[in-house]
A and B are shown apart, each in its own frame.
Chain A
């Protein structure tokens, strides 16, 4: 480590010494805890905030204790407050004006649903540090609950939402309560098992339609465009909600648990309950994404809820930056859109997809838009 982390405002005087220490840079670049930051260019973040000032920083230590004399610059304000989120939302809302073919709308809707999944898993993995390899289980529970209720009881899909919330909370408790006593590796294996159990159960039950699944699930909106907008609004609220939870008492408790469970306990954090809360929140987010998924495709089958799906959501979280809301939003968009962009390559599509993912992780191991623990006074 060659320097104290910089707290000089972005765009500081030219004489600030640039450090090459990768680990300190890691802590300073990237920003924004706010809102929905869809599609905001990640490299802007690194370019703006990678300043390092080991020497001069010490001199001003007294001054920056309370942050006196260092108002956030326009760039940092842009990155840390809600403007990035609003810009992303605006982009998402304007996208259909660029391309509104059924194919494009379908891809964008799927991407938005995937963003919601990533935001939910980020609560579990990113905030709380619980490696969940079976997250798709909650996605499946949500999709099947609303699908079965809507087709069997002839209910509109919206009416199933309260039931979905209740069922996913119960699922979160049932899967979480026994497994969250386990630590790291064991937890990962058990969640992997539960993910498969849910899928195989859906495959074998009659009420879920067996291997062929459920057809004719009613939609939530009249047209694909309307449904896309509805999805964007729901997902934006979900992402905003996840971000707000992350900045609250419970969100901090999740991070304390991730960093050091014993120290968290010693400060009065009931670590088991806090972990269960993260799991339940993740379950509800996943379940509601499942409702959107069922409405989007109007048909669901066990094939949609494989381990690969869990792995892809986890990849979106890791690729974007664990614990970083704008990061996982970008990660989810990349993971869901990239295979579509690469569609022309036919057989080489997933080969190149894999190569690109490896390249990103080698070049930016901390994620595209890493979580920022530095606070702006």
Chain B
């Protein structure tokens, strides 16, 4: 297996606070890696460093041998990384389809002149864009209205739209930040299935998640963070037996 993403000795400090203190992990192609840890452990900060929203203080972030450090988020996205946000960040007042079309932004080949003159190229790219949007909404199994505003969808459906939007980017690496938060049991089961189907497309997934059932079920490897430090990295069954992890994170609730 080839390495897709490798993060080495990543450090991030806000003033005097060390949010990430020497994080090293890697993700292979089409692999599901979970990043877990108590609240404030630096999981989302690590995501933000990888996707260019934060500038790390030190360390390396390489995607297929290319450094992502110092790139703006749109440039990181252009290299094949898509993400969702911990708190839903849909374009609430736009239609559901338009939200997913955002994911296709990088794939559209049309310029301003095409748009002004409605050239065949414009029509073709608009049609393909809409087809793509429908395709990914089908893929995530959206049941709600696609034509109305995204903010009117129920919460669980909005989560699906956000994943569809990221998938429409057709990324090699997908970062999911707590995708199960706020979902009910049935929706979590569907999410599990969805993650497996995304993986089957050949997409590598990094997952931040608090739901241990989901993490243990879906991940090939688990990275555990605590206070910005990595305390474990291994197969789920090994990580759950790791005394350091049990002490720091799982606590007494080993069967969670």
Contact residues of A with B, CB < 8 Å? 1, 4-5, 7, 24, 27, 57, 61-62, 64-67, 241, 244-245, 247-253, 255-256, 259-260, 262-271, 373-377
Given contacts A248-B126, A375-B147, 14 further A-B contacts (CB under 8 A): A7-B148, A66-B134, A248-B112, A248-B122, A252-B98, A260-B91, A262-B53, A262-B85, A265-B74, A266-B89, A267-B82, A269-B74, A373-B93, A373-B149
B145 with A4: CB separation less than 8 A: yes
A244 with B116: CB separation less than 8 A: yes
With both beta carbons as reference points, the residue of chain A lying nearest to B162 in the complex is identified as A263
A191 to B35, CA, bound (A): 44
Query: Taking each of B73, B77, B169, which has the highest tally of chain A beta carbons within 10 Å of its own beta carbon?
Result: B73
Task: Give, as a whole number of angstroms, the nearest-CB distance from A90 to chain B.
Answer: 21
With both beta carbons as reference points, the residue of chain B lying nearest to A61 in the complex is identified as B143
A247 to B112, CA, bound (A): 11
B72 with A268: CB separation less than 8 A: no
Query: Taking each of A1, A241, A251, A270, which has the highest tally of chain B beta carbons within 10 Å of its own beta carbon?
Result: A270
B235 CB-CB contact with A under 8 Å: no
Known contacts A249-B108, A373-B94; A264/B102 CB under 8 A: yes
A to B CB contacts below 8 Å, 28 in the list: A4-B148, A7-B147, A61-B143, A61-B145, A65-B146, A66-B134, A248-B115, A249-B105, A249-B115, A252-B98, A259-B91, A260-B91, A262-B73, A263-B85, A263-B89, A263-B102, A264-B91, A264-B102, A265-B74, A266-B77, A266-B83, A267-B77, A267-B165, A267-B169, A268-B105, A270-B74, A270-B75, A375-B147
A373 with B95: CB separation less than 8 A: yes
A57 to B90, CA, bound (A): 23
With both beta carbons as reference points, the residue of chain B lying nearest to A267 in the complex is identified as B102
Contact residues of B with A, CB < 8 Å? 51-53, 72-75, 77-78, 82-83, 85, 89-95, 97-98, 101-103, 105-106, 108, 110, 112, 114-116, 118, 122, 125-126, 129, 134, 143-149, 152, 165-166, 169
Task: Give, as a whole number of angstroms, the nearest-CB distance from B161 to chain A.
Answer: 12
Query: Taking each of B52, B89, B92, which has the highest tally of chain A beta carbons within 10 Å of its own beta carbon?
Result: B89
A374 with B148: CB separation less than 8 A: yes
Q: Which B residues touch A267, using CB under 8 A?
A: 74, 77, 82, 102-103, 105-106, 165-166, 169
Q: Which B residues touch A255, using CB under 8 A?
A: 91, 94, 98
Task: Give, as a whole number of angstroms, the nearest-CB distance from B74 to chain A.
Answer: 4
A268 with B145: CB separation less than 8 A: no
Task: Give, as a whole number of angstroms, the nearest-CB distance from A327 to chain B.
Answer: 15
Task: Give, as a whole number of angstroms, the nearest-CB distance from A17 to chain B.
Answer: 16
A268 to B103, CA, bound (A): 8
Query: Taking each of A67, A241, A267, which has the highest tally of chain B beta carbons within 10 Å of its own beta carbon?
Result: A267
A72 to B95, CA, bound (A): 17
Task: Give, as a whole number of angstroms, the nearest-CB distance from A256 to chain B.
Answer: 5
A247 to B122, CA, bound (A): 11
Q: Which A residues touch B95, using CB under 8 A?
A: 373-375
A27 to B74, CA, bound (A): 30
Query: Taking each of B77, B90, B110, which has the highest tally of chain A beta carbons within 10 Å of its own beta carbon?
Result: B77
A269 with B94: CB separation less than 8 A: no
A252 to B78, CA, bound (A): 17
A259 with B93: CB separation less than 8 A: yes
Task: Give, as a whole number of angstroms, the nearest-CB distance from A171 to chain B.
Answer: 19
Q: Which B residues touch A262, using CB under 8 A?
A: 53, 73, 85, 89
Task: Give, as a whole number of angstroms, the nearest-CB distance from B133 to chain A.
Answer: 10
A24 with B91: CB separation less than 8 A: no
Q: Which A residues touch B73, using CB under 8 A?
A: 262, 265-266
Query: Taking each of A4, A67, A251, A263, which has the highest tally of chain B beta carbons within 10 Å of its own beta carbon?
Result: A263
Known contacts A249-B108, A249-B115; A268/B148 CB under 8 A: no
